Amino acid sequence: MGARRRLLWLALKMDFLTILTLGIYRFWMKTRLRRWYWSAIRPGGHPLEYLGDPFEKLLGFLIAVVILAFYVGIVNLLLVFASFSLFQSNTAAYVASFIGVIPLWFYASYRARRYVLGRTRWRGIRLGVDPGAWGYAGRALVHWAVTLISLGLLWPRMTFMLEKYRAERSWYGTARIEQGGSWTMLYRAALPVLPVLAMLAIAALCFFTGNIGTAIGIAVLAGAAGIYAAVHYNVVSWKMLMDHKSAAGLGLRANPSPLRVFGIYIVGYITTIIVVAIPAALLTLPLLALQTSSTGGSMELPFSASAISALPEAVLIALTALCYFALFLLWGALRHAFVTMPLLRHYAETLTITGADALKGISQRARDEFSEAEGFAEALDLGAAI
């Protein structure tokens, strides 16, 4: 509980400074939080170290914004012009613009991983990832297309192939990581999907035979089971992939519990939503009072909101802003304390390293000079995760 309180206070303080600086402080916030998480993970009693620089993140973000601004301002303008010329509508332009951003998402996620691992050390040895962001983006597009064509049947193949590409370009010092196993082994992780599909089929049958209430009930159960199936697949596939990784004699053994992870998500998000609901409810009072003042007092208000409506309009606006920003403060901090930290702790506690004698033969690698940091991931809102 002590660690959770410290993290909660740290996250609240960092979120407050981020809001106070209109988002600029988030690069320092993420760096500070990562250092806290990394130092708490201690394989073999040796803590991880995070050496990321917030100035690198800020510079990378600004570079990415300039490039994306060119895309939005010039490329989109040309797409809209072509769409109106050919189809007398801008719908085609929006579709083409969205499709054009998809490769950048994959590109950004790979570069973010490269930066984070390149700024991580364990036992004084750096981790690292080889360049290959565009190669990853191209493969991701192909694998996603094949998966969609197969109606999701080849999802395990996509999971394995993309992880293999990322893993085999990753290093611990001078030891290259190898991804063993095969993609077919991941079908075992997807077994809970079968009863979900069966329930959906029964719900559809009930619906078409006129049993609407029964169909809705079964569909709700299928939705809950589907959430667990997704968590189960992510956890078990991660375990299988970790168990088949090796690097110069080093190996990994993972044993996370899907039920435990599912429980962390459910309890953590329910707790977060309940606590955040308090400022959310309070936010309605000054909003109602502001609405009443703008309509000349013609609305009927509950007693609490009626009392607030007597305050000056400037005070009402300040109260509204305070409650609004409190939502973001609490949501971010509580999610760290009740979701992110318990998840990382569970994964760390159930992961062991084998073949530790091989560490003697691993030496330091050169620092990855990666000036853009996570800029594209930040600009595309893919870099919010720790």
Q: How many CB atoms lie within 10 A of CB 213?
A: 8
pLDDT at 68 over 90: no
Higher pLDDT, 300 or 334: 334
Decide: residue 350, CB within 10 A, 0-12 exposed, 13-18 middle, 19+ buried: middle
| pTM of this structure | 0.84
Give how far Cα 62 sits from Cα of 106, 134, 169, 184, 376, Å. Answer: 19, 20, 27, 42, 9
Average pLDDT on 59-82 reads 74
From 109-118, 300-309, 366-375, the region with the lowest mean pLDDT: 300-309
Higher pLDDT, 286 or 298: 286
Alpha helices in 295-340 (DSSP H): 303-308, 313-335
- Looking up tokens 């991931």 gives 377
Higher pLDDT, 371 or 333: 333
Task: Place 310 in a pLDDT band, splitting at 50, 70 and 90.
Answer: low
Task: Place 298 in a pLDDT band, splitting at 50, 70 and 90.
Answer: very low
Tell me what the pLDDT averaged over the chain comes to.
Answer: 84
Q: Quote the CA–CA distance of 77 and 95 in Å, as a whole number.
A: 13
* Per-residue confidence (pLDDT) for residue 371, from 0 to 100: 64
Q: Quote the CA–CA distance of 194 and 174 in Å, as a whole number.
A: 43
Using alpha carbons, select from 122, 120, 126, 121 the residue that is nearest to residue 45. 122
75 Cα distance to chain centroid: 28
Q: Which H or E run contains 80?
A: helix 76-87
- Going by their DSSP bridges, the two strands 351-354 and 250-254 should be labelled as antiparallel
* Per-residue confidence (pLDDT) for residue 303, from 0 to 100: 45
pLDDT at 89 over 50: yes
Tokens read off for 335: 């999610």
Task: Place 301 in a pLDDT band, splitting at 50, 70 and 90.
Answer: very low
Query: What percent of the chain is predicted at pLDDT more than 70?
Result: 79
* Per-residue confidence (pLDDT) for residue 332, from 0 to 100: 86
Using alpha carbons, select from 62, 94, 93, 64 the residue that is nearest to residue 79. 93
Q: What are phi and psi of 128, to 5 degrees?
A: -165, 165
DSSP, res 45: G
* Per-residue confidence (pLDDT) for residue 384, from 0 to 100: 46
Using alpha carbons, select from 330, 272, 281 the residue that is nearest to residue 12. 330
* Per-residue confidence (pLDDT) for residue 304, from 0 to 100: 47
Q: Which residues contact 314 (CB under 8 A, 6 or more apart)?
A: none
* Per-residue confidence (pLDDT) for residue 276, from 0 to 100: 85
State pLDDT tens for residues 168-214. 999 999 999 999 999 999 999 999 999 999 999 999 999 888 888 89
* Per-residue confidence (pLDDT) for residue 287, from 0 to 100: 58
* Per-residue confidence (pLDDT) for residue 312, from 0 to 100: 63
Highest mean pLDDT, choosing among 87-101, 107-121, 307-321, 322-336: 107-121
18 Cα distance to chain centroid: 19
Task: Place 282 in a pLDDT band, splitting at 50, 70 and 90.
Answer: low
Pair 180, 245: CB distance under 8 Å = yes
Average pLDDT on 41-60 reads 88
Q: Which H or E run contains 252?
A: strand 250-254
* Per-residue confidence (pLDDT) for residue 311, from 0 to 100: 56
* Per-residue confidence (pLDDT) for residue 32, from 0 to 100: 93
State pLDDT tens for residues 221-245. 999 999 999 999 999 999 999 999 9
From 15-29, 194-208, 256-270, the region with the lowest mean pLDDT: 15-29
Average pLDDT on 273-278 reads 85
* Per-residue confidence (pLDDT) for residue 84, from 0 to 100: 61
* Per-residue confidence (pLDDT) for residue 291, from 0 to 100: 54
Q: Quote the CA–CA distance of 274 and 40 in Å, as a whole number.
A: 28
From 101-110, 243-252, 256-265, 309-318, the region with the lowest mean pLDDT: 309-318
* Per-residue confidence (pLDDT) for residue 382, from 0 to 100: 55
